[in-house]
Amino acid sequence: MSALNVISVQSHVAYGHVGNAAAVFALQRLGIEVWPVHTVQFSNHTGYPDWQGQVFAAEDIARLVDGLEARGALANCDALLTGYIGDPELGAVILDAAARIRAANPRALYLCDPVMGDHGRGLFVRAGVPDFLRGPALAAADILTPNLFELEILTGRKPEGLEAIRDTAASLLVHGPKAVVVTSFSPEGNAAGEMEMLAVNAEGAWHVATPRLAMSPNGAGDAVAALLLGFYLKTGALPEALGSAAAAIFEILDTTLESGAEELQLIAAQGRLETPRRRFAVQQL
């Protein structure tokens, strides 16, 4: 089997695991080659009182994509993964990269993790980013991985209950994506103590629930988007990828909770990403 290759355009930190510092290793541990393109390089994530580093201009990112193309990487790329977009000007670079990758390899996928915010925190992206994600990015993406808050921003709806969340996610399919995965939610009426994920495509909808853990470290969403993409590339099946990603992110979060650390314990959990201690039933809706 030939190697799978992913270009991941995301933020990066030296300390901890958010953005590419979460996605790259998770994909590598699944046996997938990753060519990371960092949109920012910070000492640590911005949830700390201070950080050091720089934000790269859109033209800097464009030049890196040019360099990858010169090495033949676009023709050998199986998927483009994007996450946090700090500046809406980067949107045009991402769309250009997606188009060039597809021209070089029509089988390549684009997974867009539409990072915008979360309940309790609200929006934490610059003006213009939600419009880009609701419009051009939504139309270009093959797979979209919003959390519930981001699903609400993308659709203008506030779904309550599992069926409403399913229908709201499915409403995005007509705008371009072949699959939408809602990566974390706990709807009204949900069984106590569970966190849920839901996936929809043209064939149907699937749901999985894991125990809710008393912590929510930065980078969990970045890791789960990467894991979902990795398992999907390896299996080609959305329900299988959903179940495997749910089990893997639970291992990472459970390991983090056991350690008492604030940062995501991705390295400590690496051996159980494909062989988790627990698996969770994926139910078709």
Query: For each successive 10 residues of the chain (285 residues), what is the average pLDDT?
Result: 88 97 98 96 94 95 97 97 91 97 97 91 87 96 97 95 95 97 79 84 96 88 97 97 98 96 96 96 96
pTM of the model: 0.95
pLDDT confidence of residue 121: 82
Residues 6+ apart with CB under 8 A from 114: 133, 137, 138, 144, 145, 146, 150, 153, 154
Q: What is the pLDDT of residue 1?
A: 45
pLDDT tens sequence across 93-122: 999 999 999 999 999 999 999 999 888 787
Sequence letter at residue 39: T
Q: What pLDDT was estimated at residue 186?
A: 83
Q: Look at residues 135, 123, 130, 136 and name the one whose alpha carbon lies nearest to residue 93.
A: 136
**Tens of pLDDT along 209-247?**
999 888 888 999 999 999 999 999 999 999 999 999 999
Where do we find the tokens 């808050």?
A: 149
Q: What is the number of domains present in the chain?
A: 1
Collapsing DSSP states into helix, strand and coil, what is residue 230? Answer: helix
Measuring CA to CA, which residue among 68, 66, 41 is closest to residue 52? Answer: 41
Query: Which structural domain range is residue 145 located in?
Result: 5-284
CATH number at residue 221: 3.40.1190.20
The predicted structure's pLDDT at residue 86: 81
DSSP labels for 39-102? EEEESS-TTSS---EEEPPHHHHHHHHHHHHHTTTTTT--EEEE---S-TTHHHHHHHHHHHHH
